[in-house]
Amino acid sequence: MDTLIKIDSLCGGYGKETVIKDVSLEIKRSDFLGIIGPNGSGKSTLLKLMSRVLTPIKGKVTLEEKDIAKMDLKEFCQRVAFVPQDTLISFSFNVWEIVLMGRIPHLRRLQLETKKDFSIAEYALSLTDTLYLKERQIDTLSAGERQRVIMAKALTQQPGLLFLDEPTSHLDIGHQIQILDLLRRLNREKNLTIVMVIHDLNLASEYCNRTVLLNEGKIFKEGTPSEVLTYQNIEAVYKTVVVVSNNPITSKPYIILVSGVK
- pLDDT over threshold 90, residue 144: no
Task: Please give the share of the chain, as a percent, with pLDDT higher than 70.
Answer: 98
Whole-model pTM?
0.92
Query: What does the pLDDT read at residue 44?
Result: 94
> Please, are residues 83 and 151 in contact by the beta-carbon 8 Å criterion?
yes
Q: Are strands 242-246 and 253-257 parallel, antiparallel or unpaired?
A: antiparallel
Which residue type is seen at 140? T
- pLDDT over threshold 60, residue 1: no
Model confidence band, residue 175 (pLDDT cutoffs 50, 70, 90): confident
Query: What does the pLDDT read at residue 88?
Result: 66
Model confidence band, residue 12 (pLDDT cutoffs 50, 70, 90): very high
Superfamily holding 3-257: P-loop containing nucleotide triphosphate hydrolases (3.40.50.300)
Which residue type is seen at 200? D
Average pLDDT of the chain is 92
Query: What does the pLDDT read at residue 261?
Result: 62
Q: What is the pLDDT of residues 48-77, one digit of tens each?
A: 999 999 999 999 999 999 999 999 999 999
**At 35, is the secondary structure helix, strand, or coil?**
strand
For 161, counting Cβ atoms within 10 Å of its Cβ (0-12 exposed, 13-18 middle, 19+ buried), the class is buried
Q: What is the pLDDT of residues 81-128, one digit of tens each?
A: 999 887 667 677 999 999 999 999 999 888 888 999 999 999 999 999
Kindly state the greatest CA–CA separation across the chain.
Answer: 65
Dist CA 133 CA 175 (whole Å): 15
